[in-house]
């Protein structure tokens, strides 16, 4: 449902959307966690890509190993992201006090699932790259073996 919604939102904003999500990859997440993770990632990507000529969002989600999930997203981004000295992202939105909670939500999910997130901006290609690794967990919260 989330991917269908973003496919439509991307179409409305003239952004090509290429989702490749492997079945069962994120089954260990609760619906609330899944929604927070994907919606925040895709909101940020769509905001960055909108208005960029030949804009795109390329999302791939799958098991890297039996016990690890990889989420990779590349998206058009004409304006380099702003960051604090510690590397935290700062919104470009005018009412900054009302924004920025999405990345904090993602951070909480990553902490819970022993995850990491790597990001980088390629100025030459005007592309933002995100890699997320998370440990797959059983329904009881224990890492899969």
β-bridge partners, 119: 130
Q: pLDDT tens, 105-144?
A: 999 999 999 999 999 999 899 999 999 999 997 655 566 6
Higher per-residue pLDDT: 48 or 89: 48
First to last CA, the chain: 30
What CA–CA distance (Å, rounded) separates 88 from 48? 16
Q: What is the mean pLDDT of residues 10-18?
A: 96
Contacts of 98 (CB under 8 A, 6+ apart): none
Q: pLDDT tens, 23-76?
A: 999 999 999 999 999 999 999 999 999 999 999 999 999 998 989 999 999 999
What CA–CA distance (Å, rounded) separates 13 from 106? 24
Side-chain-side CA neighbours of residue 129 (13 Å)? 8
Residue 39 has a pLDDT of 95
- Print burial letters for 40-59: b (CB count within 10 Å at least 16), e (below 16): bbbebbbbbbbebeebbbbb
Burial class (CB in 10 A: 0-12, 13-18, 19+), 21: middle
pTM of the model: 0.84
């Amino acid at each position: 449902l989330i991917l269908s919604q973003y496919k439509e939102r991307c179409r409305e904003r003239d952004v090509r959307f290429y989702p490749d999500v492997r079945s069962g990859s994120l089954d260990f997440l609760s619906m609330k966690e899944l929604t927070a993770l994907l919606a925040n990632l895709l909101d940020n990507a769509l905001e960055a890509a909108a208005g960029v000529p030949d804009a795109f969002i390329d999302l791939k989600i799958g098991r890297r190993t039996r016990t690890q999930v990889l989420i990779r997203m590349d998206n058009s981004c004409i304006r380099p992201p702003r960051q604090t000295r510690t590397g935290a992202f700062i919104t470009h939105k005018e009412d900054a006090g009302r924004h920025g909670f999405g990345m904090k939500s993602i951070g909480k999910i990553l902490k819970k699932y022993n995850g990491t997130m790597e990001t980088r901006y390629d100025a030459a290609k005007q592309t933002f790259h995100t890699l997320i690794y998370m440990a797959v967990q059983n329904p009881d919260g224990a890492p899969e073996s």
